């Protein structure tokens, strides 16, 4: 039975069992609509055929996914790929923790601690699934795994492979994950000199793949990135405020607010430059405090076990007298980094919890890493040295935290499950009732949230026009409009579809929210006016 308590069991089998139990018992639900939107692009639900390349995401993977969906569209290839990457990140982090804790705990307590870590600090990554989480966690886990094993080429190769695989999913988040684990990497490696090969190779690798991406990108992809940067500042960061000067500007800013991004004669570079402005007094005086206050409240509510673990690990770290200044620098860096992300940019849960996990790993590496106190076995002796009443209080407090967090997780799971059932029912209704019609949807992107990443969804046979969301500006949508109506122009395409009689061909089935419908009527009433004042359409 030695294998049952062996390192391979704790590092590989235990996390896989915990993952399977979570997905099977609680389910897995997409955090945003982005994952299902990507799946529908790669599988061809939102296009004439499977889309092999999306400018901002899944570099290189898109060709494989498009081929896989063309071969068997009934398999959730995207979810399986992202699940494999997230499972790899989980195994790598367990390997780091196991190596860190092994000198201080016997096999059974060590397995219990790893299970506790998964339940309190990692379970949400599987419950609330996101390609962003997979990229951020895999990048950080790869760097930590390699740094903990300095001088081992195999570990370095595996760590760099994980980092590049994460970068291909979401470059920006992979870079953030690699940067966030630098303090822990230095501590795990035993200093700058031993960590330099890993950190230097990671930095060089990221620079290399970024350079290759920019060298290979087409003008259309470069324009898509500029467009995304502007939309991110407007819709995600709330940095730019609308200031329309003309009716066309007003129409464009309204479209951006509704995520109706497919009409390039209205939503374009000119609009971003002329109809939006940055009000520093408003942003720093109102927006930043409001965003930080909201995020702090949610942080305390959603992640109190991790915050408590950070406080405990920080308190234990203060027992060391060595490198105390470094310890405080790391604490301030993480705290201020989270505040900057929350206030100036955006700090959603899919970014927040991974960064908290890396912060916790940094504190544990400071307390237990190479060349640090306590000596092997001292962590257990510290517990035994507590007075019985204090041990009882600690156990009671731990049980209370477990109970509260378990109740919170169960409540979230029930809410996500209800949302999943509701959205699946809406999708099934559209698929069943569409017959030969072309569904034209606007404002219903929330139907794609909280779905299972390990199931396939569709809206029946035939094309679908989804007018809202980031994908509405993708090149595949212009090709789809041209195939449906003979023109790539969105307004003219919708006009022709509206005039098509059911007996004459494929007619449109309009599924629009009231706000989206009002905007489309305004746009139709304006007619060709934008074409005379704005740039040419697609």
- Give the pLDDT band (50/70/90) at residue 533: very low
The alpha carbon dihedral of 441, 444, 447, 449 has a sign of: positive
Which pLDDT tens digit goes with each residue over 202-220?
999 999 999 999 998 899 8
- Give the pLDDT band (50/70/90) at residue 2: low
Q: Kindly state the tokens that stand for 1.
A: 């039975």
Residues 6 or more apart whose CB falls under 8 angstroms from that of 453 comprise 28, 30, 35, 76, 78, 79, 82, 83, 129
Running DSSP on this structure, what letter comes out for residue 97?
Answer: H
Which pLDDT tens digit goes with each residue over 43-63?
999 999 999 999 889 999 999
Which pLDDT tens digit goes with each residue over 143-180?
999 999 999 999 999 999 999 999 999 999 999 999 99
pLDDT (0 to 100) of residue 321: 65
Q: Kindly state the tokens that stand for 214.
A: 């920019």
Q: What Å distances lie between residue 146 and 89, 162, 163, 185, CA to CA?
A: 13, 10, 11, 8
d(CA 450, CA 446): 9
Q: How many helices (H) and strands (E) does the chain have?
A: 26, 7
Q: For the ranges 38-42, 70-74, 497-501, which has the lowest average pLDDT? A: 497-501
Average pLDDT over residues 323-335: 89
Q: Kindly state the tokens that stand for 344.
A: 């100036």
**Residue 536 in this model has a pLDDT that exceeds 50:** no
Query: Are the beta carbons of 76 and 455 closer than 8 angstroms?
Result: yes
- Give the pLDDT band (50/70/90) at residue 534: very low
- Give the pLDDT band (50/70/90) at residue 501: low
Which pLDDT tens digit goes with each residue over 123-141?
999 999 999 999 999 999 9
């Amino acid at each position: 039975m030695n294998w049952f308590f062996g390192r391979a069991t704790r590092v590989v089998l235990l996390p896989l069992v915990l993952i399977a139990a979570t997905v099977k018992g609680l389910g897995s639900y997409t955090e945003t609509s982005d994952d299902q939107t990507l799946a529908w692009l790669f599988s061809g639900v939102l296009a004439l055929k499977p889309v092999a390349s999306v400018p901002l995401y899944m570099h290189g993977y898109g060709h494989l996914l498009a081929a896989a969906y063309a071969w068997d569209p009934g398999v959730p290839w995207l979810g399986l790929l992202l699940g494999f990457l997230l499972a790899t990140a989980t195994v790598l982090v367990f390997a780091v923790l196991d190596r860190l804790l092994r000198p201080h705990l016997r096999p059974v307590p060590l397995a219990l601690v790893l299970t506790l870590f998964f339940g309190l600090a990692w379970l949400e990554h599987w419950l609330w699934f996101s390609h962003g989480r997979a990229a951020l966690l895999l990048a950080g886990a790869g760097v930590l795994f390699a740094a903990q094993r300095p001088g081992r080429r195999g570990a370095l190769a595996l760590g760099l492979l994980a980092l590049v695989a994460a970068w291909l999913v979401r470059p920006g988040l992979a870079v953030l994950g690699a940067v966030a684990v630098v303090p822990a990497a230095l501590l795990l490696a035993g200093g700058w000199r031993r960590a330099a090969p890993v950190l230097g190779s990671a930095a060089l690798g990221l620079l290399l793949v970024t350079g290759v991406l920019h060298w290979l990108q087409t003008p259309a992809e470069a324009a898509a990135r500029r467009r995304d940067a502007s939309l991110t500042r407007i819709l995600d960061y709330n940095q730019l405020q609308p200031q329309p000067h003309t009716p066309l500007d007003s129409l464009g800013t309204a479209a951006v607010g509704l995520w109706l991004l497919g009409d390039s004669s209205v939503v374009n570079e000119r609009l971003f430059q002329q109809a939006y402005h940055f009000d520093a007094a408003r942003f720093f005086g109102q927006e930043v405090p409001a965003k930080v206050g909201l995020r702090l409240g949610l942080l305390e509510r959603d992640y109190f076990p991790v915050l408590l673990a950070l406080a405990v690990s920080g308190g234990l770290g203060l027992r060391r007298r060595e490198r105390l200044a470094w310890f405080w620098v790391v604490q301030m860096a993480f705290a201020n980094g989270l505040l900057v992300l929350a206030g100036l940019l955006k700090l959603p849960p899919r970014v927040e919890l991974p960064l908290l996990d890396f912060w916790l790993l940094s504190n544990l590496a400071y307390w237990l890493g190479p060349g640090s106190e306590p000596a092997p076995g001292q962590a257990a002796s510290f517990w035994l040295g507590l007075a019985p009443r204090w041990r009882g209080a600690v156990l009671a407090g731990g049980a209370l935290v477990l109970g509260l967090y378990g109740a919170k997780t169960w409540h979230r799971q029930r809410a996500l499950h209800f949302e999943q059932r509701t959205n699946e029912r809406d999708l099934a209704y559209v698929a069943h009732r569409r017959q030969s019609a072309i569904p034209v949807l606007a404002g219903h992107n929330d139907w794609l949230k909280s779905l299972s990443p390990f199931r396939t969804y569709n809206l029946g046979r035939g094309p679908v026009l989804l007018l809202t969301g980031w994908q509405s500006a993708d090149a595949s949508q212009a090709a789809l409009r041209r195939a449906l109506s003979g023109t790539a122009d969105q307004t003219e395409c919708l006009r022709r579809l509206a005039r098509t009689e059911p007996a004459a061909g494929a007619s449109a089935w309009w599924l629009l929210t009231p706000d989206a419908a009002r905007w489309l009527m305004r746009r139709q009433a304006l007619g060709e006016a934008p074409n005379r004042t704005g740039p040419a359409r697609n």
